[in-house]
Structure 1
Amino acid sequence: MTFSASPADGSRFASTWADLAGIGRDRLRGGYSRHLFDDGDLQLREWFRAEAGRRGLDVETDRNGNLWAWWGTPGPDTVAAGSHLDSVPGGGAFDGPLGVVSALLAVDELRARGVRPRRPFAVVSFAEEEGGRFGVPCLGSKLMTGAVDPDHVRRLRDTDEIGLADAARRAGIDPTRMGPDRERLAQLATFVELHVEQGRLLQAADPAAQVAVGSEIVAHGRWRLTVTGEGNHAGTTRPEDRHDPMIPAAAAVLAARRVLADHPGAVATIGRLHPVPGGTNVIASSVQCWLDARWGSAEQTATLVDEIVAAVRAEAELEGCTLVMTREAMSDRVDFDPGLSVNLSERLGAPIIPTGAGHDAGVLSAHLPAAMLFVRNPSGVSHAPGEHAETADCIAGVQRLTDVLADLLA
C-alpha cells in the first residue's frame, strides 16, 4: 500500500520536523547528541510541551521523566503512541523523534477525519531510550514497568561523573520517586510505536512498501570489559616489560567480529573504548571497552559473549593483565503480540519484519499488547548522521499510524 502526500500534509510534517532540526546538534561528531536531562533534552521537552499545547493536549511528566500528552482524561483502557527524543552520541535525526512527531501529527489527522476517541489517547516520549548518557537503554520504560532497580538507577553516573539523581533534580524531577508506576501501567491497554527502520529488511521483504509491521526484537545486551595492566612510558619501556591493556582491548574488537563467522545472524560490536590516562605517549594503565551483542535468544547471546570474552581473557593473560566483565544490560527476545501484528499487517497491507534494535515497545510488551510500525530507510543507515527517511515515506507512516489508532480508539 502506498500513500501520495498532499501539499498540506507535506507542509505540516515539514514545519513540525523543522522545529527539531537545531536542537542537540553535535558539531564534533555530526548528527545529534541528545541525552537525558542535558541542555538538548530540556529543550526537546519544551518543544514537546509546546506542540502538545498547540493541539490542546494536557502534558505531564511522570515520576520517571517520561512525557505524556493526553487527549481525553487519563484513565483505564488508554491507547498510547510515541517513541523517544534522545539519541546515541552523534546519532541521526529520525531515531526516535520520528515516532513522537508522527504520533502528534496523527492527532491532527484523526481530528481531520472526524474521529472522536471513545478511549483516552496519549502521546508519549520515553526518557533515555538509547542509554546514551547513563548506560541503561529504555531507562524510562524500564523504570515504569519495574524492569530495573530504581536504587541502582539513582546511583548511575555519566562520563563526567554527574549523577543521574543530580541531573534529574536539575530537570525538576524528584529522583526519590523514581520506580515502578503501577497506576500508569494499569491504565494502558495498547501501545503502538512508529520508528524509522534501522536496516534494510523492509526493502528486502517488499521493495514497494513504505511501512512495515514489527514481529519481534532479538535478544540483546551490553557488557563493560575492564582490562587492567601497568601504566608506563611509551618510549622507554621494552616490549618484554610491558603489561599493556590496550592489547587485550584490541583483541576484543577483533574477537567481536571474528566470532560471528560461526554464528549466522548474530552481531557483536565494540563501539566504545576508554583508555586511562589516554595519553599518546603513555602505555595505558587500564582500558574499558563496551561490547554490544545481539542474537536470537538470551541463551544464544550469552554463548556469543562467552566466546568473545574467552578470547580477550586469553590475550590478557599473555600480556600480564587482568580482566573484569560487568553486564550493564540484557534483554531477552521479545515477540510482539502476534494477533495485533497480524491484524495491523492485514489492515495496512504491510509486510511483517523482525528487528535487532531495542525499543520501548519491547519493554511494554511484557505487560500489554504492543506493536511497532517501521518507516522505510533507503540507505539502511542508523545511529549515524546518514540516517534518513524520505518525507513521502514519513507522511505515509503518519497515515498508517492514524489508520491503526482510528481502529483502536473506536
Structure 2
Amino acid sequence: MSATLGTTPDWEAMWGDLAPVGRASSGGYLRQPFTAAEREARAWFLQECARRDLAVEEDGFGNVVAWWRPDSCRPDQKAVLTGSHLDSVVQGGAFDGPLGVVSALAALDELRERGVEPVRALGIAVFSEEEGSRFPVACLGSRLAAGVLAWDAARELRDRDGVPYADLVPGPGHGSDLLAEVGVFVELHVEQGRDLVHREAAVGVAEGIWPHGRYRFDLTGRADHAGATAMADRRDPMTTYAHAVLAAQEAARVAGQRATFGRVQVAPNGTNAIPSAVTAWLDARAATTDLLEELVAAVRGRTADQAGRDGTGLEVTAESVTPAVAFDPVLAQRLARHLGRRRPGPQAEPLPVVPTAAGHDAGVLSTAGVPTSMVFVRNPTGVSHAPDEHAGTADCLAGVSALADTLELLLAPDAPTPDPSDPETQVSP
C-alpha cells in the first residue's frame, strides 16, 4: 500500500509500507546498519522524500537529512531539524526509531495542509547506527556528525565479524555537513518505559537522559576437560562471569539504578569443555554520573574479588560512556505548555515533562550544544528493544499532531531558538 499525500491516513499508510521491512519470523526486527534490511528501509525513506520534493543530503558517516526549504525561508534563520533512526537492535521492536521518521514525514504533510509558510528550513534526519547493534558505540552516526567522536577512533571500530567501520562509510570530507545550519532539534520517539501510562497521557515531553555506558568484561581462565577436571583444579571464567551477573543485579537493585549483562561470548564454546575466555558486555545506567560510576565500580570490584578466588583474569574496558543530558529546560517547558493548550477538549494542563534512561541521538546533539527536545508517545506495556514494543495508532496520530504543532511553533517568524550559552534566557509561552 502506498500513502497518498495530503490525506489524513498518511501516517498509517507509510507505517504499513515500512513495517514489514526487516521483520523476522519471530516478530522482531533485524535492521542492523549497512545490511540489506536497513538499506531497504533507507530506500523507503528516500522514496518518500522524493514524493515530497525534498532535497536530500548525506554525509560521510551514513547520515541523511531531507530538507524542506520553501521560498518563505530566510537565509539568516537557523534551521529546525527533526527525525530519528531506522536501524534496530537484534530482534528489536517496530517503533524505536522508525516512529520518529514516519511521524516527521507525516508532520511535514500536516504543516503543508495547514498552509504553514516557515521562515526556517525544516530538515528530517535519519541517523545511522543509533542502536550500536553492529559496532560497539551507540549513536555512532550522530556522534560523528556532531563532532563529539573523532574519526580516528571511529574508523578503528569493528563489528562481530571483524568488518571495519571505515570499510562501510567514506568518512569525513565526503558529503555535507548536515548540522551546520541547525538551530534546534526535536526528536519524536516511542517512550521506553511506562511513565506516560501512569500519567494517563498519550504524549509527553522529555526532561533529560540518564548517564549510561557500555563496559566490556574480558575474563580469562584455562580451557580443560569438563569431565576429567576436578572442580578444585579449575580456572573457570564462566564461574566468574556468573558472579558478575549476580553482582550487577544486586548492585543495581539496591541503588535503584539499572545494570544488564545482555551479551556474552565464550571460547571455545564447547558443551564438554571448560571455557578459556568469556567476554561479556555490561550496560549500566543511573540517575547521576556519580551513581553510575559507583554502580560500575561495585560490579567491577565484586567481579575482581571472585576472579581472585577462581584464579581467573579480569579486564574491564569502557567502550562507550554517555554523560547525563538535560534537555533545554526553556524549550521543554515552552513545548509542554504549548502542546497542552493544543490538545482537544477543555484541558489546558501542560503535557508531562519526564526523564528517560534510554539513549537517543537527541542526547548527542544536546551534548554538542544544539538546543534539543524530545516528544514521547505512550507505550502501553513499556516494553522496548523487543518484539512486544508497541504504541497504539491513536497515540501515534496524537504524536504526529504534537510534532506538527511543535514544528509550526519553531518555524514561525517570532519563534526564537534558545541560546545554549545563555541559561538565563526566558521564552514566553
Give the TM-score category using the shorter length. over 0.9
Partner of 1:382: 384
Partner of 2:283: 292
The alpha-carbon deviation at position 299 of structure 1 amounts to 2.2
The alpha-carbon deviation at position 186 of structure 1 amounts to 3.3
CA distance in 2, matches of 1:176, 1:380: 38
Pick one of 59, 68, 72 that aligns with 2:69: 72
CA distance in 1, matches of 2:364, 2:59: 17
The alpha-carbon deviation at position 147 of structure 1 amounts to 1.3
SS in 1 for 2:370: coil
Pick one of 401, 406, 409 that aligns with 1:407: 409
The question of 1:45 aligning with 2:47 is answered no
CA distance in 1, matches of 2:28, 2:80: 32
The question of 1:214 aligning with 2:206 is answered yes
Partner of 1:190: 184
The question of 1:19 aligning with 2:10 is answered no
The alignment's C-alpha RMSD in Å is: 1.7
Q: Which runs of 5+ in 1 are unaligned?
A: 1-6, 169-173
Partner of 1:369: 371
Q: Which AA in structure 2 matches 1:60?
A: E
Q: Which AA in structure 1 matches 2:99?
A: L
Partner of 2:417: none
CA distance in 1, matches of 2:135, 2:54: 30
Contact residue 105 and residue 124 of structure 2 kept, 8 A: yes
CA distance in 2, matches of 1:403, 1:368: 20
Q: Which AA in structure 1 matches 2:110?
A: E
SS in 2 for 1:243: coil
Pick one of 215, 223, 239 that aligns with 1:231: 223
Q: Which AA in structure 1 matches 2:149?
A: V
Contact residue 26 and residue 33 of structure 1 kept, 8 A: yes
Counterparts of 1:338-377 in structure 2 under 5 Å?
A: 338-349=329-340, 350-366=351-367, 367-377=369-379
Contact residue 226 and residue 286 of structure 1 kept, 8 A: yes
Pick one of 307, 312, 321 that aligns with 1:321: 312
Partner of 1:144: 145
Are residues 307 and 178 of structure 1, via their aligned partners in 2, closer, same or farther at CA, if it must alter by over 3 Å?
farther
Q: Which AA in structure 1 matches 2:307?
A: A
Q: Which AA in structure 2 matches 1:148?
A: L
Partner of 1:89: 90
Contact residue 60 and residue 172 of structure 2 kept, 8 A: no
Paired residue total? 392
Pick one of 29, 33, 40 that aligns with 2:30: 33
Partner of 1:4: none
Contact residue 58 and residue 178 of structure 2 kept, 8 A: no
The alpha-carbon deviation at position 184 of structure 1 amounts to 3.7
Partner of 1:3: none
CA distance in 2, matches of 1:148, 1:188: 19
TM-score by length of 1: 0.92
The question of 1:330 aligning with 2:321 is answered yes
The alpha-carbon deviation at position 302 of structure 1 amounts to 0.9
The question of 1:114 aligning with 2:115 is answered yes
TM-score by length of 2: 0.88
The alpha-carbon deviation at position 177 of structure 1 amounts to 3.8
SS in 2 for 1:212: strand
The alpha-carbon deviation at position 8 of structure 1 amounts to 5.0
Contact residue 65 and residue 178 of structure 2 kept, 8 A: no
Q: Which runs of 5+ in 2 are unaligned?
A: 1-5, 341-350, 413-429
SS in 1 for 2:359: coil
Partner of 2:171: 175
The alpha-carbon deviation at position 178 of structure 1 amounts to 7.5
Partner of 1:260: 252
SS in 2 for 1:36: coil
CA distance in 1, matches of 2:110, 2:68: 13
SS in 2 for 1:230: coil
Q: Which AA in structure 2 matches 1:212?
A: G
Partner of 2:399: 397
SS in 1 for 2:222: coil
Deviates more, 1:339-348 or 1:277-286: 277-286
The alpha-carbon deviation at position 98 of structure 1 amounts to 0.1
Deviates more, 1:372-381 or 1:154-163: 154-163
Contact residue 150 and residue 178 of structure 1 kept, 8 A: no
The alpha-carbon deviation at position 262 of structure 1 amounts to 2.8
The question of 1:63 aligning with 2:54 is answered no
Provide runs of 4+ in structure 1 moved above 4 Å: 73-76
SS in 1 for 2:118: coil
CA distance in 2, matches of 1:346, 1:220: 29
